[in-house]
């Protein structure tokens, strides 16, 4: 394999790991939000883990985009993935700003619903990355 192939294969492997980590964190938050009452320690720790995993995923997406743009240009798939990522970032920022600890404590039911919607958006974004980005990187491995 040449350097380009190794870079694509490495990015693909790291993205798969990052996606798996985000899904694991979301599953943990799902279990927490199924509880009838909020546990501040548990949900704040879970939110932090999701945020860290999402940041790692987003960083890898940016690296993959730069890597691919240098090889295939700004394709329709890359534009779609970029748009999805930007929308998710905006939605996530609004979610975190809206759902402070105080807001969660005072409206657990509302937070549970909002958290479910947030996880669905994250999942949709990752599934699109898996479908499009994995294929783009695999073709360059």
Contacts of 54 (CB under 8 A, 6+ apart): 22, 92, 122
| 0.85 exceeded by pTM | yes
The domain tally of the chain equals 1
Mean pLDDT of 49-69: 95
Query: pLDDT of 124-137, one tens digit each?
Result: 999 999 999 999 99
Mean pLDDT of 56-85: 92
Predicted local distance difference test score (pLDDT) of residue 83: 96
Q: What percent of the chain has pLDDT over 90?
A: 87
CATH number, domain of 46, equals 1.20.120
Structure token pair of residue 45: 């720790």
Q: Residue 5: which pLDDT band, with cuts at 50, 70 and 90?
A: low
- Give me the domain span that covers residue 39: 3-138
DSSP class per residue in 40-104: HHHHHHHHHHHHHHHHHHHHHHHHHHHHHHHHH-S-HHHHHHHHHHHHHHHHHHHHHHH--HHHH
Mean pLDDT of 62-73: 89
Which one has a higher pLDDT value, 121 or 141?
121
Report the Cα 38 to chain-centroid distance in Å.
24
Contact criterion met (CB below 8 Å) for 65 and 134: no
Is pLDDT above 60 for 4?
no
Predicted local distance difference test score (pLDDT) of residue 6: 62
């Amino acid at each position: 394999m040449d350097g380009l192939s190794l870079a694509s294969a490495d990015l693909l492997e790291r993205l798969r790991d990052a996606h798996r980590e985000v899904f694991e964190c979301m599953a943990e938050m799902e279990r927490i939000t199924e509880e009838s009452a909020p546990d501040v320690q548990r949900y704040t720790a879970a939110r932090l883990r999701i945020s860290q995993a999402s940041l790692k995923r987003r960083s890898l997406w940016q690296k993959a985009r730069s890597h691919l743009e240098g090889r295939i240009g700004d394709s329709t798939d890359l534009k779609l993935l970029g748009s999805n990522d930007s929308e998710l970032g905006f939605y996530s920022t609004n979610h975190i700003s809206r759902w402070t600890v105080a807001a969660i404590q005072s409206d657990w039911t509302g937070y549970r619903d909002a958290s479910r919607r947030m996880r669905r958006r994250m999942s949709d974004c990752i599934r699109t990355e898996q479908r499009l980005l994995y294929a783009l990187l695999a073709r360059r491995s």
